[in-house]
Amino acid sequence: MNRWKKGLAACLIMFLVFMTACSTGGKGEGETSKEGKVTIVWAYGKDNTGENKKIVEAFKKTHPNIDVKVKEMPSDTGQNHDQLVTMFSAKSSEIDVMNLDVIWPAEFASAGYLEPLDRFIEKDKVKLDEYIPGAVEAGKVNGQQYAIPRFVDAGLLFYRKDVISTPPKTWDELVQKAKEAKSQGKTKFGYLMQGKQYEGLVCNFLEFISSYGGQILDQNGNVAINTPESVKGLKKMVEVARSEFVPTNISTFTEEESHTAFIQGQSAMIRNWPYQYAIAQDAKQSKIVGKIDVAPLPKGDKKAAATLGGWMAGINKYSKHKKEAWEFLKFVAGAEGQKMSAVIGGKAPAYLPAYNDAEVQKASPLFSNKNFVNGISSAVPRPISPIYPKISDVIQIEVSKAITGKQSAEDAIKNIDAQLKKLVK
């Protein structure tokens, strides 16, 4: 009997030790603290303005029981995308809320990576009709809403008004003004763009071919790129990218490299997204404060064209705290979060009432410009398709070969046409 009692006592001690170890261990994925505080993780790309950290601080003040940790993803959108796919494929709950490029929801939702938001939207009476329609549609897949827009982008031309008196209206004028700025020694470069083999290259390419009347897919989803207009647009892009007024390593430039060179005063002009204005006016990092202005991208033979871009917010299907994740998503993509992104980060709100806010209007001349507000939602969209990453990969490779002189514009368009037809079929 004594032996049995001793054995039972030993078992009880081992059980208590085990339970104590479990209860006092480090906080793992999906755990809640003793105080009932839930920790969620927000993943976003490189934050150049510090807006995201300030959004988190503001959220915590109104939601003391939700702690938000941040995970900064690569600034290269392709690398960002691939890391998220790797996490989701493993059904990881490492992150709860993530920023999504406007082209990702169709792919991620179709793969089962995103949590449908309809029940949350309905319960909290979120008015999606107050957001830019095209951006909302980008987050809707098969009739369900999987993401809510945070901000929208469109390619714009920023220029040094102390170097160039009036912005170029056509691509030919841009070439001329860029040559003059460099040859006269006013700036090291005449023009900057995004030329690396990544998604930004596709955006630049789409703007060039669209301005000359080209397109990638038609309204029925058929491949329609192999036209004289597309060839002409790519030829102009190659002319610019291989000119003496851009950096010799332009094929390595993403937004970060190009905006850094611009705010250091190295170029007369740059093609970039709306956030460029905010960092160019930031005296802590910019040498050209008060010296820049903005204009639409130049026209080709047909029109001026800007690629519709932007980022959305979604919830990881495998999150262990979906309710808390929604509270944060609702904040970051709502009125307060979008205002902070506009005022601090210079990002164009997808939430339309934000444009009536005096502080938002003061943040950028763009935000008080009705033509900008009305036009940004009609910018040229990239194909919304579950296989868009494959479409983009083809374009990146072939256009990169063209701007680095490895093939002609005609051959690049033919190769894109042939490969896309196989993918779409």
DSSP structure class, residue 351 = B
pLDDT of residue 27: 41
Q: What per-residue confidence (pLDDT) applies to 309?
A: 87
Task: Return the exposure string of 299-328: e unless at least 16 CB atoms fall within 10 Å of the residue's CB, then b.
Answer: bbeeebbbbbbbbbbbbbbbbbbbebbbbb
pLDDT at 15: 44
Nearest CA to 98 among 123, 120, 71?
71
Cβ–Cβ under 8 Å, residues 384 and 103 = yes
pLDDT of residue 54: 96
Where are the chain's structural domains?
38-152+309-376, 154-307+383-424
User: How much is the pLDDT for 28?
Assistant: 41
Class of domain 154-307+383-424: alpha beta
List phi, psi (to 5°) of 8: -65, -40
Q: Which of 369, 169, 165, 366 is nearest to 277 (CA)?
A: 366
Give me the tens of pLDDT residue by residue for the chain, a chain 425 residues long.
455 445 544 444 444 444 443 433 334 445 555 567 999 999 999 888 889 999 999 999 999 999 999 999 998 888 999 999 999 999 999 999 999 999 999 899 999 999 999 999 999 999 999 998 888 988 998 899 999 999 998 899 999 999 999 999 999 999 999 999 999 999 999 999 999 999 999 999 999 999 999 999 887 788 999 999 999 999 999 999 999 999 999 999 999 999 999 999 999 999 999 889 889 999 999 999 999 999 889 999 999 988 988 999 999 999 999 999 999 999 999 999 999 999 999 899 999 999 999 999 998 888 998 777 877 766 777 877 788 889 999 999 999 999 999 999 999 999 999 999 999 88
Q: List Cβ neighbours of 116 (8 Å cut-off, separation of 6 or more).
A: 144, 145, 146
| pLDDT at residue 13, rounded to an integer | 44
38-152+309-376 — its CATH code?
A: 3.40.190.10
Fold agreement (38-152+309-376, 154-307+383-424): yes
Contacts (Cβ under 8 Å, ≥6 apart) of 163: 181, 186, 187, 268
Q: Where are the alpha helices (DSSP H) in 111-152?
A: 118-123, 133-138
